[in-house]
Structures are given as structure tokens and as C-alpha cells.
A and B are shown apart, each in its own frame.
Chain A
């Protein structure tokens, strides 16, 4: 895989591809930097524009937008203290204090290098881990695929619910229900179509994702009228602290590992990766009190992790067909649109696809290095664009984008209605990511459980006798049971006893 990756770096580097990549990295950076616009939205809107392009060119555009939008928040976080997306929130804690001290340029340059290192770390992990995961996934039967889909939805629900995990699970179940609308694949029976002919073919994933991420965001931003502005920050020198980065290679490596690890968990995403890495960096640092007071290590930890998360989130997309983050979910939707079937067979049907994605990520990281440093001074101006002007344009793009997929006005209706429902549910503490993962994995889960039961003649035995299935089942039961007070109390009691015993021996 590494050899093929090295070959693809040059093979994919045509002028047209690189031009599209540079443009999309720039678009992604603007989306990431501007408060109110998100990485998922960037990938979602671009996937509708690139629908008619070749798969390779479309992937270049989407990967570029994804990488750019995860890196972009560093600019607004450091210069204004307002992260464009949640992925940049941890960067703002220390980065903005550095900017207030006149070291904004240095912080941006260091964040850029950390992001490049993170992206490269993530892509190398993708290249190295994917074959292992594919080998494992080839042993999967319908039993494991069903359990994997359910585990993906539930774990995403547990980790993204801001209020209580059960709300995340409900959100996931609603997503799975949406996926079961339309003619099902085994008997050709029409389910829940309510006599609407447009629903017979099922619900289109891209308009649903576009609605889920665009409409609530537009409503929230215009409702709260987030004001971007304040004093014009002084950028100062744009020289990265390379020596400092090298001396802290341990934390960079750790942040990369956290980013990749969090990325592989279905639906969790870059924001959690950056916070997890920031928190770990703070706890393990010799001077934890300096975090949040302008410590450049805080910027390095957050930026390395959120960009390493990209490679991590793409690993399950390509090997299992399960998205690791909301933008990766959109990427999966776009791959489906282009007729690419992600999963364990992808490596056999298109052997160069994963190395190609790695090469695209590498080129994208090169562009964020160049454009990130070049755009540092210009981004101060870009960040002054009023959200009241941008949001109506995003609404227009969401409408046009939803229509462009299939030239069907019904998709626009679906996008809007789904967006409004998601907005209301989010206000009540129901996260959107599990619903999106549910919509994407619903068909696989439905088909897999029935095929698994067909294979066993209706017996549930394979669910508890196959080793991988048993592990997945245990993980599902554990993630559900961990929310019960009884089990939480038992775990706390057990750890309390262990701690007391340890203290006693000491």
C-alpha cells in the first residue's frame, strides 16, 4: 500500500487536479474560518457542485474542502478568539491570547505546521491501518455488519449527545427509520411511503445531510446574530516555532494518535479530537496552569489532533463504509453518488483508491501550508464578512445544491423540512450526527440482519457464537449499560475498592 501511495502522489498530480484542490482548500479555509459555516457544510455544498465531475476530480475537491475547513478555524480562533467551527474552539483558548500579545502570526504559522503534521500523520495511519482493517472486515458476515451499524449509531449517540446519551440513541434510531422509507431490497415492498411516489426510491442522503447541517446553522446564526469584529489584531511575524515543535515531538505524536483514534470512532469528529488532545496535553504537561494563558503547546495539541482526525475518520469510511465524522459522512454520501462502494471490497474493486485518497490528503496538506501562511494577513479581512450577508447565500446554495442532485424539487422540500425538524430537536438536546449516521447505515443494517437470519434459518446463535460479533455485541451492551445508574455505581464502587486497596498497600 505504501509503494502504491508513493506512486499515486505523482500520478494524481495533474495541473487540473491540483488547481481544483487549491481552490477547494481555499473555499474550505474560508468556510472553516467564518463563524457559522462548518466543515460538513463545505463538503456538502461542494459535493452537489462536483456531482457532474469525474470521481477523481470530485474527490480532490471534497478532500481539499474537508482539510481546508478543519484547518481554517485556526485563523479566526487565533485572530478573533471566535472559532469558525467547534474543531477550532480549543485552539482559541491559547491562540487568541498569543494574538493579543502580538504573536498572532507566530501562532498561526505554528498552527499551520501542526495541522500539516497532523494531516500527514492521519493519512499515514490511513495507509497503514486500512489494509489491516480490510483483512479483518473480509471476515465480517451480515451478522457483524448489522452489529457494526447499530454500534456506530449508538456510540455516536453516546458521545455527541449534549444532554443525555439516550437522546443521541433516539436521534440515531430516527435516522435508521428514515433509511427504511421506500422500496426495501429483499421483497421489493414499499414501506412508509404514504402514497408519495417520490419516496418510493427512498430518501436521498445528500439533501438530508445538507438540510441537517445547513438549515439549523442558518437559523441559529441569524437568530443569535453572532457579531464578528472587534479590534483589528496585530499579526506580527509569520515565523513558525519549528525548534519548539521538534522539542515537543512527543506531544505532537500523542496528539496525532488521539486524532486518529477519535476519528475512527463513528460520527464523533474533529471537535472532540481537538478537545481530547488539548485536555490530555494539559494534564500531562509539566506546567498545566499555563494552558489557557497563551501556551503555544495548547495550539499544537488541538491543531495536530483535529487534522489527524481527518485520516482517522476516512479509515472506516473506506474499509467498512461507516463514517468516522460528520464531514466524512458527507464524503461517504458523495462516494455513493459517484458509484464508488466503500467497504472491504473497495481495495479489490479499485486497488488504487485508498492510496489515491492518501495522495490527495498529502497534496491538500501542502496547500494548507502554502495558502495558510499566505492567507494569514488576508484572513483578517475575510473574517470581517458579515454573517447576515453570508447566511442567506448559504440558504440559496443549499436549495440549489439539493435540487441539482436528481433535478428533483422534492429533494429541496425534504432538505428544508428535515432541517427545521433537526433545528427543533437540537434545541431539545438531540444531536444531529447520530441521525445522519443512521440514515447512512440504515439500509446496510436492515439488509444485513435479514440476510444474517436467513443464513441461520432464523436462529440468533451466530450473534453470540461468532467472535467479532460477540465483541461488537458486548460493546453495544456495554455502551448502553454504562448509562445505567446501577452499572455506573458498580464501576465506581469497584474502582473505589481498587484505589483503597492500592492506597492500603502503599
Chain B
């Protein structure tokens, strides 16, 4: 979780987004049929498909306002741009963010780019191997060759055998 001060600044922005989203849900709900003769009765606002989303939209706005009030009370609305710029400027040195971005982008490539387009076993072997290699091999020192061999073995044996079990014994064809 982010540190408290940074969290309050983020709360301020995110709650404004949630309030806008709640408003959008309310608007979309208002476009749904509120009075219909489909089931025979005259006015059936309580049967409208928009009723439940409208309630949720209102609740989302109210709860977001509650968080927004706390964020403002703790000064979350002050000087948002400064710390944000500092964080952005620090990005080239922020290793934790690099790791998160790598995981998300690499997984995204595997899921959106490879699934259904490339042979599933091959794509999975490459995905698993690169992921293990990126996080496990750096800093291995003298054990680098041993670790690389283990990474290669694990990334071939596990995905291929599990995919085989799924398709052969559980009758689930792989993507």
C-alpha cells in the first residue's frame, strides 16, 4: 500500500473518478426502461433493470464523497502535481515499478498477443522461462548455469505436462 500522505493524494483523484463513474452509471441506468408494459402492469419502476444499478451508482457517489472528505481533511487535495512529477522523474530509478510494469506487459503480451494465435505450449514455455529468467537469474553468481538449467527444465516440463493433463485426462482442449 502507498504511504499515507501519497495515499490521500491518490484518494482525492480516485474518488473524483469514482464519483464521475457513479454519475455515469446513474445516467446509463436512467436510459434503461423504467416504465414498461412488457409484464402487463401500468407503471413498474420497481421492476426496471435500471433500479439496482441506480442504487449502486448513488451509493458509490456517497461512499466516494466520504473518502473524499477524509482526503481533503488530511490535505490530500494540496500540491498533487509536485509529488506526481517527482515520482515520474524518479521512474528510471524505481526498480519496483520496473518489475510491476514488466510483469503486466509480459503477461499482457502472453494473454492478448499469444493466446489463440501461437501454439499454446510453445507460448507458455517462452512466457514461463522469460519470467523465471528475469527474476531469478540476475545475481545468481556462480550458480547461474545451474539456475538457468533448472529454469529451462521447469518452464518446459510444467506447462507441457499440465497442458497434456488438461487436454488428455480432463478433456479440456488448450487455447
User: B96 contacts which chain A residues (CB < 8 A)?
Assistant: 223-224
Main secondary structure of the interface of B (DSSP, over half): helix
**A497: interface (CB < 8 Å):** no
CB–CB A166/B67 < 8 A:
yes
List 24 A-B pairs, Cβ < 8 Å. A49-B170, A166-B63, A167-B67, A173-B59, A177-B25, A177-B53, A177-B56, A189-B33, A189-B49, A192-B53, A223-B103, A388-B136, A389-B154, A391-B135, A392-B135, A395-B127, A395-B128, A396-B159, A409-B116, A416-B108, A423-B100, A429-B2, A449-B52, A450-B52
User: A449 contacts which chain B residues (CB < 8 A)?
Assistant: 51-52, 55
**A187: interface (CB < 8 Å):** yes
A219-B104, A450-B47 known; A399 vs B110 contact (CB < 8 Å)? yes
**A56: interface (CB < 8 Å):** no
Chain A contact residues (Cβ within 8 angstroms of B): what range?
A: 35 or more
Contact of A428 among B2, B25, B163 (CB under 8 A): B2
**A404: interface (CB < 8 Å):** yes
Min CB distance A50 to B, Å, is: 9
Q: What separation, in Å, do the CA atoms of A391 and B108 have in the docked complex?
A: 16
Interface string of B136-175 (1 = CB under 8 A from A): 1000000000000011001100110011001000111111
User: B47 contacts which chain A residues (CB < 8 A)?
Assistant: 186-187, 450, 453-454
Interface string of A218-258 (1 = CB under 8 A from B): 11001111000000000000000000000000000000000
List residues 17-50 of chain B with CB under 8 A from any CB of chain A: 18, 25, 28, 32-33, 36, 38-39, 44-50
Contact of B99 among A186, A223, A409 (CB under 8 A): A223
Q: What separation, in Å, do the CA atoms of A416 and B111 have in the docked complex?
A: 8
CB–CB A400/B174 < 8 A:
yes
Q: What separation, in Å, do the CA atoms of A218 and B134 have in the docked complex?
A: 14
**Number of interface residues, chain B, beta carbon within 8 A:** 67
**Assuming A219-B100, A223-B100, A416-B107, what are 5 further A-B pairs, CB within 8 angstroms?**
A177-B60, A187-B33, A388-B132, A397-B162, A412-B175
CB–CB B46/A396 < 8 A:
no
User: B151 contacts which chain A residues (CB < 8 A)?
Assistant: 389
**B10: interface (CB < 8 Å):** yes
Contact of B173 among A174, A407, A428 (CB under 8 A): A407
User: B38 contacts which chain A residues (CB < 8 A)?
Assistant: 187
CB–CB A393/B128 < 8 A:
yes
Q: What separation, in Å, do the CA atoms of A48 and B11 have in the docked complex?
A: 36
